[in-house]
Amino acid sequence: MLHLTVNGENRVVGDDVDPATPLLWVLRDHLGLVGAKYGCGVAQCGACTVHVDGKPVRSCQLPVGTIGSRVITTIEAIGNTPNGVKIQQAWMEAAVPQCGYCQAGQIMSATALLNRTPNPDDSDIDAAMAGNICRCGTYVRIRRAIKNAAAKSA
Amino acid sequence: MANAQFAQSDAYLSELISEVSTMPDAPLSMGRRTFFKLAGAGAAGLVLGFHVGDQAFAAAATQNGNLQTINAFIRIAPDNTITIYSKCPEIGQGIKTSFGVIIADELDADWNHVAMEQADINPKVYGSQGAGGSTSIPRAWNQLRQAGAGAKAMLIAAAAKTWNVNPAEITAKDSVLTHAASGKTATYGSLAAAAAKMPVPDPTSLTLKTRAEYRLIGKRYRGVDDAKLVTGQPLFGIDVQLPNMVHANFTKCPAVGGKVKSFNADEIKALPGVLDAFVVEGTGVPVEVMPGVAIIAKDTWSAFQAKNKLKVAWDESEASKDSTSQFSASAKKLAASFPAKPDDNVGDVDKAFAQAAQMVEAYYEYPFAAHATLEPMNTTAHWHDGVMELWVPTQQPDRGMTQVSKMLGLKDDKVVVHQTRVGGAFGRRGTNDYMLEAAAIAQKVKGPVKLTWTREDDFSHDFYRPSGYHQFKGAVDKDGRLDAWQEHFITFTANGKRPVAGGGHTDTLNVSTIAPNLRRASTMMPLMIPTGSWRAPGDNAQVFAVQSFTHELSAAAGRDHVQFLLDAVNRNVPELAPKSKSVNFSPARASAVIKLCAEKAGWGKTLPKGSGLGLAWCYSHAGHVAQAVELSVDANKRIKVHRIVVAIDVGPVIDMAGAEAQAQGASTDALSTAIGLQLNIENGRIRQQNYNDYPILRMPMAPMAIDVFFIQSDNPPTGLGEPAFPAMAPALGNAIFAATGDRVRSLPLRNLDYSLAV
């Protein structure tokens, strides 16, 4: 029996789940949290990004048995954090999403960026967002939304 | 020769595109109007729908609890909230927002109290419900406006009856009706019950708004699902969760056409989490179900893990042996001899060549490409009570419904399709193979089953953009005008008769660069790998070749390229005039976008050494688009894109924020594709298996500025998912030539050692 702290709640993962199962699939198939997305399975696309102890992590590569007491935050609850809600609002104001499939991962990476760098410059944004593919090509608006959110933080 | 059974996915789309041409701009005639009762509505009251001509304009009036369904697109609640149903799939093109804006504008609804919902898939009510070929807007434009105007007419009729006034004296705004003379007002919500009892109006009696009367069309909108997207709510096909649902993966032969001889069934069935494993024979048609092994497991990860342990003995006697390196070598040889029988032959090309002031010859090529939508192919299917119920992220739900019923031998009403949001499409999901696979698997599974492809499945079993090879010879006359164009296109065929999907000549040359003397021929190489529609099929690559070679000609003639293009698009060559009514090419619209793009890009300005400005244009999917790229190139062939300018005429813009997004996204996608994307095929197998092999553009390389300008002409609006893609690559290549003198004749640019500067 595994105990996970997900979005501030204690969640129990049954014994039928192999501890080697990546967090992504435990969230999606066992805990009903489908905001983190499967895109590549090899940490190339960033669609599965969640926060573990506040740091962005590709959940498709994190065996659920190795997490222990570390705190997991997903897109479903990132709006409960000050930077998370600012990023979400900035995303809507800039009408960032096209198909929208990558955007949960983009928002998790962007929120983590603001958490450690409140006023990111272009190179900070490049570095923080390089792991997240947007197949629709919304990068111009993602960059603008991050800057707008940062301006509100200041 | 490839199996003739290998039907291509494009035929259906071609029909859709040509259907647009049959749509009248004026309100529809009464010719074939028929009323019918909608099935299943009995308990809720009478629901009337009617078809007019070939276009289904659905109107209905029903009472369902307190909610008044005015017609199949509109439902009004007593609290004055209005629900509008979007009949087509949302694939990232913004249709769910745009369709709502179109209806709400004619309805004069208060947009702040409109909720958008995905409509049921029911082509009898809604007509075609597909999304593809940038046709959703032009196909639905009149239908949606009539739905809004019809509902408003019923509300006005109800108010006129209640107030005992002349309906012509009633005005509508923000979901409120007003009779100025008597000072009476009423909300739509308060009138909805009475309105639902009014006669359904004849659509030809409705007066639709003129552009000057639009209140909502043309403004900037947030996507109607954005709030759900940014909070991670379930919207996509892959997010579907049903009670007692199990998970499936399906493994097909890595070379298309291979059949299952046997597999390690006992070993697979014994793996943790695995519930079952079995062979699906399929229909043997790639656009339907090819043979493979289905693994059923309690969760996705168990299914994926078992797939890694799966050992299938394939019978590859009829499987593809295709090889891209062989294609390239063969095409180069074939290109050298121009076929005796050209596809078209206008004027006198040989005479023009003999009298030419300048002649240029060049060979262009571009590779196979995958769609690589970020949401992998998936479908949830539930076989119960003789009904196949499916939840699908598809571009063609109505077509899929028919395909499933045909494959399973079910009546149409025994297949229920729920359209989900789609995590990227780009033409890939015009083909419903994954939907049919899920249906075939679900018949052997108790309870609902979600089929999820791995990313590797997705790369291996796509319907690819085919490579292409063009041998050009062109001539400029003594006045510096384009005079002759000869083109030998080396492409592919699956059946030996016609080119594969995405591999036929498009209209782009006839209209983008009109030469009075034109001769084109094609040679087709056999291909077994299935191809399909890939964002702006044909144009996405042919415009690169044509617009780049056009720049070679203007440069050889020493002409200003913009002037050269304007001369070419305005050339009157009757034999080259588009014959299909669906081609709404206009020299005036073409000239306007070219001029606007040049002006906004600062055409003619002096740039520093190593910098260049390139411009190209295209007519694609009924849109007129010009694109310009300003860039610099360093000694290591690192390209810094400083600015991209896009000038577009697709008629009136519905949602300005969404339209700009499509142009920015298509430009970025085109840049990404031109710089880095290519598939290699060996022995029928796709070598690239994940994003690490297929470098889609990322944030550090993304352009800082993509400035989009619209010419909002009075023409009926057309779609924007595709038109802003094709001219980007030639604008980029032309800019590299301007900066360096190096001509880009093959894609992707990384094969030529170019890269994008961070």
pLDDT beneath 70: ranges in chain B: 1-70
Task: Please say whether the beta carbons of A48 and A33 come within 8 A.
Answer: no
Give the distance from CA B118 to its chain's centroid. 18
Angle at B634 between CA B632 and CA B640, to 5 degrees: 40
Residue ranges with strand state E in B136-191: 170-173, 176-179, 184-187
Task: Please say whether the beta carbons of B618 and B509 come within 8 A.
Answer: no
Among the partner-chain residues A21, A96, A139, the one whose CB lies closest to the CB of B699 is A139
* Best mutation target, A99, A144, A146, to test chain B (most B CBs within 10 A): A99
* Best mutation target, A72, A136, A146, to test chain B (most B CBs within 10 A): A136
**Tens digits of residue pLDDT in A81-90:** 999 999 999 9
Quote the minimal CA–CA distance from B233 to chain A in Å.
Answer: 6
Give the distance from CA B143 to its chain's centroid. 20
Task: Output the six-digit token pair for B103.
Answer: 């209806």
Name residues 51-70 of chain A within 8 A of B (Cβ): none
Residue B383: the pLDDT is: 98
Residue in B with minimal Cα distance to A30: B299
Name residues 320-339 of chain B within 8 A of A (Cβ): none
Residues 6+ apart with CB under 8 A from A36: A24, A27, A28, A47, A48, A49, A50, A59, A74, A75, A104, A105, A108, B232
Q: Does B98 touch chain A (CB under 8 A)?
A: no
**Tens digits of residue pLDDT in B310-363:** 999 999 999 999 999 999 999 999 999 999 999 999 999 999 999 999 999 999
Residues of chain B with Cβ-Cβ distance to A28 below 8 Å are: 300
Query: What does residue B437 show for φ and ψ, rounded to 5 degrees?
Result: -60, -45
Interface contacts (A, B; CB < 8 Å): 193
Shortest CA distance to B686 belongs to which of B373, B527, B368, B460?
A: B460
Residue B22: the pLDDT is: 37
Residue B714: the pLDDT is: 85
* Best mutation target, B220, B302, B374, B669, to test chain A (most A CBs within 10 A): B374
Distances (CA, A) of B282 to B439, B462, B720, B736: 11, 17, 36, 49
Task: Output the six-digit token pair for A36.
Answer: 């983190």
State whether B374 and A47 contact (CB < 8 Å): yes
Task: Please say whether the beta carbons of B402 and B412 come within 8 A.
Answer: yes
Residues of chain A with Cβ-Cβ distance to B377 below 8 Å are: none
Radius of gyration of chain A (CA): 15
Residue A153: the pLDDT is: 67
Quote the minimal CA–CA distance from A16 to chain B in Å.
Answer: 8
Question: ipTM for the complex?
Answer: 0.98
Residue in this structure with the two tokens 């790639």, named with its chain if needed: B286
Among the partner-chain residues B238, B247, B696, the one whose CB lies closest to the CB of A135 is B696
* Best mutation target, B229, B304, B725, B758, to test chain A (most A CBs within 10 A): B229
Arithmetic mean of pLDDT, A63-70: 97
Residue in A with minimal Cα distance to B421: A99
**C-alpha to C-alpha distance for A13 and A25, rounded to whole angstroms:** 12
Among the partner-chain residues B426, B668, B758, the one whose CB lies closest to the CB of A139 is B668
**Tens digits of residue pLDDT in A106-134:** 999 999 999 999 999 999 999 999 999 99
Task: Please say whether the beta carbons of B250 and B296 come within 8 A.
Answer: no
Residue in this structure with the two tokens 């059923």, named with its chain if needed: B296
Angle at B187 between CA B185 and CA B192, to 5 degrees: 125
**C-alpha to C-alpha distance for B691 and B424, rounded to whole angstroms:** 15
Q: Give the number of other CB atoms < 10 A from CB of residue B656.
A: 17
Residue in A with minimal Cα distance to B246: A29
Among the partner-chain residues B239, B424, B455, the one whose CB lies closest to the CB of A135 is B424
Query: What does residue A58 show for φ and ψ, rounded to 5 degrees?
Result: -80, 105
Residue B412: the pLDDT is: 87
Distances (CA, A) of B540 to A104, B12, B390, B458, B544: 29, 19, 32, 21, 7
State whether B300 and A16 contact (CB < 8 Å): no
